[in-house]
Every structure is written in structure tokens, then in C-alpha cells.
Amino acid sequence: MTFILNNPILWPVIRYFRGFTYFQVVCLTAVVYDLTLTFGQEFELVWRQRWSLMTFLYLSVRYIGIVYTVAIMLPNLPSVSLTDTGCTTLYFVENWMGIIINGLLCVIIITRLYAMYQRSRRMLILLAVTFLAIQITSVVILAIQAAYTSGEEYVLSGAHMCGYSFPDNIVLPEQMTWVLGTVWEIFALCLAVWIAVKHFREAQRPSTGSTVEDCFTVLVKSHVFYFASFVAASGLQLGNLSPVLFNSNSLGTMFFDGIRQLTRTVQMVILGPRLILGLREYHANLVADSDEGTGMASIVFQERVHISTGSGV
């Protein structure tokens, strides 16, 4: 049922949603700009290479992320009319896509750590069990929330927007998925730093080449940068638990929610794919700078342990 209201007391709500929409447009613009900026690299390092698990993960995160960015923007566009069913559908699409993208990002992190630990089966089992426990819990929490959530279309002084109703005790489980995600990221970062420190110490020995050291440097730097963006997004997301922010339509709250959405989008849709693209670019430069381009030992970011001039990168 669509609710049509023209009460002037609702103008702060309209102002909030319009301002928040501007931030969502900025999110989509940033994603499209990043895609345009890196498409040349993507074509050379992803599309023209042999397809692998990393290729699938990169393309999934990249292009599902674009659909996700559009999905979170549509419910708040004042000129777009959606039925109650449309609002509910977009809500489910947004939340389930978020779970899927975060799950794919976790698989990317697992693959990186598996390579850094030189294909240790014990490490793979530890990472897989931890990932499944966190991911299954997040899916159950979201399923419970979705069962009690319904979307409603509002038309406030001619501005269309979606509202959602759910019991008060369902709000906290939604944020619990971010708590679980933060635990996973801290766990993964500790493992990455531990093995990196170990390899940097071994790299000081005369018998150890600099290629592995440089590759670990690239891995750790990209991981730390990604982790920092996740912490920023997670901190802002959990800050939304404050009753002052959750129940407010002030200008300050609008800016807070807009920045929260922007950091979340950057972390998931922009920095996530760059975890793969950055290392593939490093491998490509490493091969290009070599005399023969073959026989270089390096840790992998995919199925093979050695890189080559072929499609293995």
C-alpha cells in the first residue's frame, strides 16, 4: 500500500533522503570512474588471461558490485516510483548482494593467505572452517531479519521513497554481521602480518632472493590498505546503532549516513577487486622486467606456484 502524505512536518525527512541520494549517486559515480580508470588493466590482466578462480572472483565482485550500487540507490530516488513489492525486493537484493560480495572477498583473502603460507593444508582448513562459521552465521541472521521485514512506498510531497518496517529487536542482528566481518578481517590481518614478518626475516639471508620479499611487500601493503578501509566502513556502520543517529533526520545524520555508504562501497566494490588487479599488475611488471620472462619463483595469487609469460598470471 502506497502512503501519500503532504504534511510540512515531513520536510526534514524529504531533505534527509534527497541529501542521502546525492551520496549514493557519488558512490555510483566513483564505481563507474574506477571501472573506466582500470578497464585497460582489467582487459590485459583479466580478460586476456587464462580463466581461473581468481578471474571468476574478480569479475563477480566487480560487476555484482555495480548492480549492488545501483540497487542501494533506487529506493531513495525521489523521481522513481516503486510499489511496496518493489521496495521489498530491492531491500532483499541489497542485503543478499552485500552478503555475496563480502563472501567472495573472504574467498580472495583465503586464497592470498593460502599462497602466502605456501599451500599449507592446515592453514587452508583453518581458514575455511572460520570463514564458513562466520558466513553461515551471517546468512542465518540476515534470513531472520528478512523474514520480519517488509517494504512500503511513501510519497511525501511528491517525492517517492521506500520505508521498511521490522521489529525493534531485529535491528541489532543486522549490525552483528559487521561485527562478525570485523572479527574475520582482524584474524586474516594477523595471519598475513605473521607470515610476512617471518618471510622478511628469511629474506635477509644471502641465499634468499628479493622477488619473494617484494611480492610479500605488495601483498601486505594491499591487505593493510584494504583492512583500513574495512575498519572505517565497519566503525561507521556500527556507529549507526546509536539511537541518536538511528532516529534522526538531521543534516549531520545525513552526512554521517552518506559517508558511511561511500566508505562501504569503496571498500567492497573498488578496493576489493584491486586486491587481485594490483598483484596481477605486479606479476606482469615482474615478467616484463626480466630478461627471458620465465623461471621466476614467486608466490602465487591463483592455482600455480610459479609465474610465467603465459596465461598463468
Please provide the DSSP assignment of 175-232 as one string: HHHHHHHHHHHHHHHHHHHHHHHHHHHHHTSTTS-HHHHHHHHHHHHHHHHHHHHHHH
State the pLDDT confidence band at 186, using cuts at 50, 70 and 90.
Answer: confident
What are the CA-CA distances from residue 59 to residues 235, 301, 311 (Å)?
28, 15, 17
Q: What is the pTM of this model?
A: 0.81
Distance CA 51, CA 302 (A): 10
Express each pLDDT in 34-77 by its tens digit.
999 999 989 988 998 888 888 999 999 999 999 999 988 888 77
Query: Does residue 244 belong to any structural domain of this protein?
Result: yes
What is the percent of the chain where pLDDT is above 70? 79
Helices 84-116 and 210-239: angle between axes, nearest 10 degrees: 150
Distance CA 55, CA 290 (A): 25
Express each pLDDT in 103-119 by its tens digit.
999 999 999 888 888 88
The count of domains in the chain is 1
For residue 165, count CB atoms less than 10 angstroms from its CB and return exposed for 0-12, middle for 13-18, buried for 19 or more. exposed
Query: Does residue 31 belong to any structural domain of this protein?
Result: yes
Express each pLDDT in 20-31 by its tens digit.
888 989 999 999
Phi, psi angle pair for 230, to nearest 5°: -65, -40
Over residues 262-270, mean pLDDT:
90
pLDDT of residue 265 exceeding 50: yes
Is the Cα torsion angle 241, 180, 237, 190 positive or negative in sign? positive
241-245, 262-266, 284-288, range with greatest mean pLDDT: 262-266
- Grid cell 542501494 in the structure block, residue: 72
Name, in order, each residue with C-beta under 8 angstroms of 278's C-beta and a sequence gap of 6 or more. 218, 222
Over residues 155-183, mean pLDDT:
71
Helices 251-265 and 210-239: angle between axes, nearest 10 degrees: 150
Residue 8: what pLDDT? Answer: 66
Q: Which domain holds residue 276?
A: 3-289
Query: Does residue 299 belong to any structural domain of this protein?
Result: no
Query: Does residue 224 belong to any structural domain of this protein?
Result: yes
- Grid cell 562466520 in the structure block, residue: 134
184 grid coordinates: 574475520
Name, in order, each residue with C-beta under 8 angstroms of 197's C-beta and a sequence gap of 6 or more. none
Express each pLDDT in 88-108 by its tens digit.
888 888 888 988 999 999 999
Query: Does residue 297 belong to any structural domain of this protein?
Result: no
Query: Does residue 218 belong to any structural domain of this protein?
Result: yes
Query: Does residue 300 belong to any structural domain of this protein?
Result: no
Of the candidates 246, 230, 233, 274, the one whose C-alpha atom is nearest the C-alpha of residue 54 is 274
Helices 84-116 and 121-147: angle between axes, nearest 10 degrees: 170
Query: Does residue 273 belong to any structural domain of this protein?
Result: yes
Residue 132: what pLDDT? Answer: 94
Q: What CATH number has the domain bearing residue 152? A: 1.20.1070.10
Residue 313: what pLDDT? Answer: 36
18: left (phi over 0), alpha (psi -120 to 50) or beta: alpha
